[in-house]
Amino acid sequence: MAVLTLSEKLDQLGARYDELTQQLSTPDAVSDSARFQRLAKQHAELEEIVAKHREYKQIEKDLAGARQMVLEAEDAEMKQLAHEEEKHLAARKEAVEKNVLLEIRAGTGGDEAALFAGELFRMYSRYAETQGWKVEVLESSPSSLGGLKEIVAAIQGQKVYSRLKYESGVHRVQRVPETEQQGRIHTSAATVAVLPEADEIDIKIEPKDLRIDTFCSSGPGGQSVNTTYSAVRITHIPTGLVVSQQDEKSQIKNKSKAMRVLRARLYEMEQEKQHAAIAAERRGQIKTGDRSEKIRTYNFPQNRVTDHRIGLTLHQLTEVMDGKLGPLVEGLVTHYEAGRLKRELAEA
């Protein structure tokens, strides 16, 4: 029996994906909730790889056409256009990577909430390592006890947004703080937001709209940790947005990082204008950061983590906090993909 090539195996997956798409639209599947969920899960597992394979095949086809045109075109202008198209398609053929900005902020709970925010960042950093993603801290504000009041980090790699986009919301922790003398369990919270990082072409920032101030970096308590004016504060005058950056010793690097954060926040504002309903849903998930608005609970005494949106409970909190987020991430992706398919079928 002949061994299939990778491309042939991917083509088979594509055929199976099309078959599942057809089955999901049948009355029998729609009326049988258990079957629909099973088919939807299989469909969701195949969707991304099939889409990428088909995109790759189309790019290869278009690239071959562009190269042929470069060879055959007699008109100089047409040959140049074909050459530019060839370069563009060759760049697209490279592995697709997309950046996101991960924002974590301490909510209710004071120092304990800040400690938990720091642990959440460690959890996502460890998960990023297992996925082969790159994490770069852009902005951070440490607390007095070693936690984080807030942190903004860029995460770069394949499938980053599709895997992390459902992490936005209020995360609640229940445990006995180290400072608690009587062993009482305290409840604190932190908020998480995952935003797609905007490219420069998405947001145009005019120099005349910026006020850039420099100052000496400072540490906890306000003491100066740097005698040079390397820290940067950028104010976007039209919107009033202010971004500060002091992690780097170089003023140029701090300015570059601050511009990335500013661009992403301006991008989010623009998206809110264009997609008010989606933005309202996102804001509704995060709300004020109050622990009663939680999407997930981390209970340390019981070694338990529960995602309240999908009713999933795991008694593996130690492993989750060490970055083993796979079961939670996959459960959320499957749940929301099934919901999207049902809405689309209802509207068809």
What is the per-residue pLDDT across 192-220, written as a single tens digit (0 to 9) for each? 988 776 554 457 788 888 898 888 766 55
Which residues fall within 8 angstroms of residue 298, CB to CB, at 6 or more apart?
116, 171, 172, 173, 174, 175, 304, 305, 317, 320, 321
By percentage, how much of the chain surpasses pLDDT 70?
80
For residues 217 and 246, the answer to whether their CB atoms sit within 8 Å is yes
H runs (alpha helix) in 25-109: 27-31, 33-72, 76-93
Indicate if the pLDDT at residue 279 is higher than 50: no
By percentage, how much of the chain surpasses pLDDT 90?
25
Indicate if the pLDDT at residue 10 is higher than 60: yes
Indicate if the pLDDT at residue 286 is higher than 60: no
Give the confidence band of 190 by pLDDT, cuts at 50, 70, 90.
very high
Average pLDDT value for residue range 266-287: 59
Between residues 16 and 305, the one the model is more confident about = 305
Does this model's pTM top 0.75? My answer is no
pLDDT at 104: 93
| Relative orientation angle of helices 276-286 and 251-274, to the nearest 10 degrees | 110
For tokens 């996101």, what's the residue?
Answer: 100
| Relative orientation angle of helices 326-347 and 33-72, to the nearest 10 degrees | 90
What is the per-residue pLDDT across 132-173, written as a single tens digit (0 to 9) for each? 999 988 888 998 888 999 998 889 887 788 889 899 889 999
For tokens 């995360």, what's the residue?
Answer: 171
Indicate if the pLDDT at residue 282 is higher than 60: no
pLDDT at 115: 94
Average pLDDT value for residue range 16-35: 86
Indicate if the pLDDT at residue 1 is higher than 60: no
Per the DSSP assignment, residues forming a β-bridge with 86 are none
pLDDT at 198: 58
pLDDT at 3: 47
Give the confidence band of 65 by pLDDT, cuts at 50, 70, 90.
confident
Give the confidence band of 95 by pLDDT, cuts at 50, 70, 90.
very low
Indicate if the pLDDT at residue 24 is higher than 80: yes
Between residues 297 and 91, the one the model is more confident about = 297
